[in-house]
Structure 1
Amino acid sequence: MLNANKNIWLKILIPVAIVCVVGGLWILKNTQDSEPEKGVSVGSNNPDFALDVTDELDLDQLKSYGLPIVIDFGADSCLPCKEMAPVLKALNEEYQGKVIIKFVDVWKYQELAQGYPISLIPTQVFIGADGKPFNPENPSAFSLNQYVTKDTGELVFTTHEGGMTKNDFLMIFDAMGVQ
């Protein structure tokens, strides 16, 4: 009789234990799936959101976050760039997770500027959250330059040449749909 009671308890406890383990694994898996794309978090510890660029820009990785991107090509020793440095730093901190802001020192890392239409510094490149060049209704309202391909007329770059104030950036962020 004692053995029969023991078997009944084992028949109850084993399925309950299995259900608990499976449920725990399901909860663990679903909480991990809610992390941002590619398992990389948006935040100050994520190198994709660091302001200063010293290695090749992986635009595909940056675009995968679905955020607007601003790349400022300048130099630490350029006067307008020095004036913009605290603005870029403050915006990068304030808009972390809303806009990706990058600074490339083209005198230290000339190779990182290759492929971009840079004729003077500072020059800012603007990319929309959709991964395409930012295309406002009225680019001249923001003093933006737009570069298109000769054959198809496809927009390939939207830039601004020269220094920008925090208000200049904020007006563009607003036009980009940044909240």
Structure 2
Amino acid sequence: MAWKDKRLWALALAVLVIGSAWGMREWDRRREVKAGGFTFQVRDRGAISEALASPMPVMIDFGSEYCGPCREMAPELVKAERLLKGKVRVIFADVWEDQSLAKGFPLRVIPTQFFFGPKGVPMEVPKGDVLGLVEYRSGDGKHLFTFHEGPLTADEIVGLFRQMGVPVD
């Protein structure tokens, strides 16, 4: 093999290594922005319990970075969290990463959002609900959960909390 050919192979290998490293870093960055990079993502059941014990209303979004509709909703969730910050706790739980996060919740599909008032009391479905919220009740009729299945926009999330009496600007 001629010296010129060896240099060409070395250059090609260097470009391949550098390109691969850059590509992996870029893929991680994009993945983080799309779903997993939420500052409000929970990674254990204790964080969910802590949020539900707070004096603020709570919305828990169960989804996954591997779910197309969840990825589409991710920017809306970020926007809603920004608009509701200080008034509502918005949290995201990746149930593909850890299925135990959804233990005790009647989760059938993702994304699904659960809505609670202060101290974890399930929010009542507002009169004139157009989002298709579901009230989940126990066998004796006790209201356990209010939830929505499928993606929501930031405006729908903010509007829902406004309907439920949360003072949103």
Q: Distance between the aligned counterparts of 1:68 and 1:164, measured in 2?
A: 17
Question: Are 2:117 and 1:128 aligned?
Answer: yes
Q: Distance between the aligned counterparts of 2:111 and 2:69, measured in 1?
A: 7
Partner of 1:145: 134
Deviations 1:75-110 (A, max 9, x none): 001111001111111222232210000111110011
Q: Distance between the aligned counterparts of 1:57 and 1:50, measured in 2?
A: 16
Deviations 1:46-80 (A, max 9, x none): xxx94111122445532443111000000001111
Q: Distance between the aligned counterparts of 1:57 and 1:66, measured in 2?
A: 16
Task: Report if aligned partners of 2:80, 2:158 keep a CA contact under 8 Å in 1.
Answer: no
Question: Are 2:158 and 1:174 aligned?
Answer: no
Question: Are 2:34 and 1:82 aligned?
Answer: no
Task: Report if aligned partners of 1:56, 1:112 keep a CA contact under 8 Å in 2.
Answer: yes
Distance 1:111 1:130, change over 3 A: closer
Q: Distance between the aligned counterparts of 2:95 and 2:127, measured in 1?
A: 29
Counterpart AA for 1:166: A
| Equivalent position SS for 1:169 | helix
Task: Report if aligned partners of 1:71, 1:124 keep a CA contact under 8 Å in 2.
Answer: yes
Q: Distance between the aligned counterparts of 1:141 and 1:86, measured in 2?
A: 22
Structure 2: gaps (5+ residues) = 1-37
Distance 1:63 1:139, change over 3 A: farther
TM-score, normalised relative to structure 2: 0.70
Query: What is the number of equivalent residue pairs in this alignment?
Result: 130
Counterpart AA for 1:138: K
Structure 1: gaps (5+ residues) = 1-48
Counterpart AA for 1:123: T
TM-score, normalised relative to structure 1: 0.66
Question: Are 2:42 and 1:53 aligned?
Answer: yes
Task: Report if aligned partners of 1:57, 1:112 keep a CA contact under 8 Å in 2.
Answer: no
* Percent of residue pairs identical: 38
Deviations 1:11-38 (A, max 9, x none): xxxxxxxxxxxxxxxxxxxxxxxxxxxx
| Equivalent position SS for 1:67 | coil
User: Highest CA radius of gyration, 1 or 2?
Assistant: 1
Q: Aligned Cα RMSD in Å?
A: 2.0
